[in-house]
């Protein structure tokens, strides 16, 4: 089966992680995020994958290569300018087969795509949207179904007034099984949104929904959800290849962890990382290759990517540190803070409340304390 993945968005909500790195190749636990999607697709026999790129496409190509490292054959299409979700598909037209799976490039999931394809074939649908239940549909595409799973309404980013008579919030998971003839509905040469211009036109014309039962699903596009996804991968709430490298306690301490350090919960300390005596790592947490925790440093429910230095007595809690970040002694970084690549924070600072610091910024000792 063929897969088409859209990765042309700028990933603005994940800045500064996406300031110089496109969202699909931002490191997630221990691999580029897209690695999770490709390995999941390969498990469901979607092994011929076309990637529709825009933003920083060359970097995506460099990191993912021909896909063989993830069990797929990967080809790339680059739009001349962002064409929107349908326009991107149209632009890849020459490579597409009669039936394919189209995917948003930011979903972490273990949904059974095979079951969705089987339903698509059984109903003779033109398109079948993978659906998942959520509590708040306002950031997604809300899908209304009849008793045969035919779509009776599609509301992208619905306002509260549109939700009044809806009793179950099923949203589009960004996983679509499509017949090639859907391309006929997309005008060429301009930006077109599949959510706003194509799905509404297919309502009543062979568009079905496939509610996924008991599957894991997460759009990883915000720092909050990046941390939630990391936790769920480490804890094994979502089926991924990461589980293969973890022991019974869901740890892989490949790095140099001093016997006087304490490591609890699901934790990866990558090879080349060092955790000094008296330091603590409280999972779910990742310490990237070459990163160092000084004595009495604490990393808790956080991600510290490669080459970081956490000074003595510093605390990093529910935060994300991109590569090469340095944190001075006794500084606290907490509560959804994201530090971009190469950020240097001096001693005795407090960074909190979801603050984001752009790559290569330097904050002197005591500069920020809130």
* Binding stretches for Mg ion (CB under 5 A): 106, 219, 221
Half-sphere exposure of residue 91, counting CA atoms within 13 Å on the CB side? 26
Distance between CA atoms of residues 179 and 176, nearest Å: 10
Residue 197 interacts with which of Mg ion, ligand GDD, none, CB < 5 to 8 Å by class: none
Pick between residue 106 and residue 195 the one whose CB is nearest to Mg ion. 106
Residue nearest ligand GDD, CB atom distance: 8
Cα–Cα nearest to 118, from 181, 177, 167, 59: 177
> Interface residues with ligand GDD (CB under 6 A)?
6-9, 52, 54, 79, 82-85, 88, 104-107, 140-141, 156, 171-172, 174, 195, 219, 221
| Residue 282: CB minimum distance to ligand GDD, A | 30
| Residue 315: CB minimum distance to Mg ion, A | 31
| Residue 203: CB minimum distance to ligand GDD, A | 14
Pick between residue 137 and residue 221 the one whose CB is nearest to Mg ion. 221
| Residue 106: CB minimum distance to Mg ion, A | 4
| Residue 316: CB minimum distance to ligand GDD, A | 28
Residue 341 interacts with which of ligand GDD, Mg ion, none, CB < 5 to 8 Å by class: none
Pick between residue 285 and residue 320 the one whose CB is nearest to Mg ion. 320
| Residue 23: CB minimum distance to ligand GDD, A | 6
Residue 140 interacts with which of Mg ion, ligand GDD, none, CB < 5 to 8 Å by class: ligand GDD
Pick between residue 121 and residue 224 the one whose CB is nearest to Mg ion. 224
Virtual torsion, Cα 89, 92, 98, 102, nearest 10 deg = -40
Distance between CA atoms of residues 286 and 281, nearest Å: 9
Cα–Cα nearest to 253, from 234, 268, 231, 264: 268
Pick between residue 134 and residue 368 the one whose CB is nearest to ligand GDD. 134
- From residue 240, alpha-carbon distances to 28, 91, 98, 182, 271 in Å are 12, 31, 29, 32, 20
Pick between residue 275 and residue 338 the one whose CB is nearest to Mg ion. 338
Pick between residue 136 and residue 244 the one whose CB is nearest to ligand GDD. 136
Distance between CA atoms of residues 158 and 68, nearest Å: 39
| Residue 166: CB minimum distance to ligand GDD, A | 15
Q: Which residues contact 268 (CB under 8 A, 6 or more apart)?
A: 29, 30, 234, 245, 246, 251, 252, 253, 254, 285, 286, 287
Residue 195 interacts with which of ligand GDD, Mg ion, none, CB < 5 to 8 Å by class: ligand GDD
- Cα torsion 192, 218, 238, 244: sign: positive
Distance between CA atoms of residues 4 and 105, nearest Å: 9
Pick between residue 132 and residue 320 the one whose CB is nearest to ligand GDD. 132
| Residue 281: CB minimum distance to ligand GDD, A | 31
Cα R_g (the chain), whole angstroms: 22
Quickly count: other Cβ atoms within 10 Å of residue 248's Cβ: 5
**Residue 101 · residue 115 · CB < 8 Å:** no
Residue 172 interacts with which of ligand GDD, Mg ion, none, CB < 5 to 8 Å by class: ligand GDD
């Amino acid at each position: 089966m063929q897969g088409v993945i859209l990765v042309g968005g700028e990933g603005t909500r994940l800045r500064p992680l996406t300031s110089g790195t496109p969202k699909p190749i931002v490191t997630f636990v221990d691999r580029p995020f897209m690695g999770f999607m490709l390995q999941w697709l390969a498990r469901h026999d979607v092994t011929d994958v076309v990637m529709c790129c825009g933003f920083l496409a060359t970097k995506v190509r460099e990191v993912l290569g021909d896909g063989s490292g993830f069990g797929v054959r990967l080809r790339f299409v680059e739009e001349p300018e962002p064409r929107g979700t349908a326009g991107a598909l149209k632009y890849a037209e020459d490579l597409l087969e009669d039936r394919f799976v189209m995917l948003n490039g930011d979903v972490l999931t273990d949904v059974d795509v095979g079951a969705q394809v089987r339903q698509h074939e059984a109903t003779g649908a033109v398109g079948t949207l993978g659906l998942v239940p959520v509590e708040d549909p306002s950031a997604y595409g809300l899908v209304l179904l009849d008793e045969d799973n035919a779509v009776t309404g599609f509301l992208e980013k619905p306002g509260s007034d549109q939700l009044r008579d809806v009793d179950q919030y099923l949203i589009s998971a960004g996983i679509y099984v499509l017949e090639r003839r859907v391309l006929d509905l997309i005008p060429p040469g301009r930006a077109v949104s599949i959510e706003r211009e194509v799905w509404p036109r297919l309502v009543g014309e062979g568009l079905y929904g496939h509610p996924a039962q008991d599957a894991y699903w997460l759009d990883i596009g915000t720092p909050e959800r990046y941390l939630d996804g990391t936790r769920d991968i480490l804890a094994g709430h979502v089926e991924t290849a990461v589980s293969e490298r973890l022991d019974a306690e869901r740890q892989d301490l490949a790095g140099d962890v001093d016997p006087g350090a304490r490591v609890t919960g699901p934790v990866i300390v990558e090879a080349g990382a060092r955790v000094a005596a008296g330091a603590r790592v409280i999972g779910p947490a990742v310490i990237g290759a070459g990163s160092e925790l000084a004595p009495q440093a604490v990393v808790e429910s956080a991600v510290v990517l490669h080459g970081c230095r956490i000074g003595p007595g510093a605390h990093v809690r529910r935060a994300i540190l991109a590569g090469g970040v340095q944190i001075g002694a006794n500084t606290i970084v907490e509560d959804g803070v994201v530090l971009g690549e190469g950020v240097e924070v001096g001693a005795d600072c407090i960074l909190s409340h979801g603050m984001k610091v752009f790559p290569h910024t330097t904050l002197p000792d005591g500069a920020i304390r809130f």
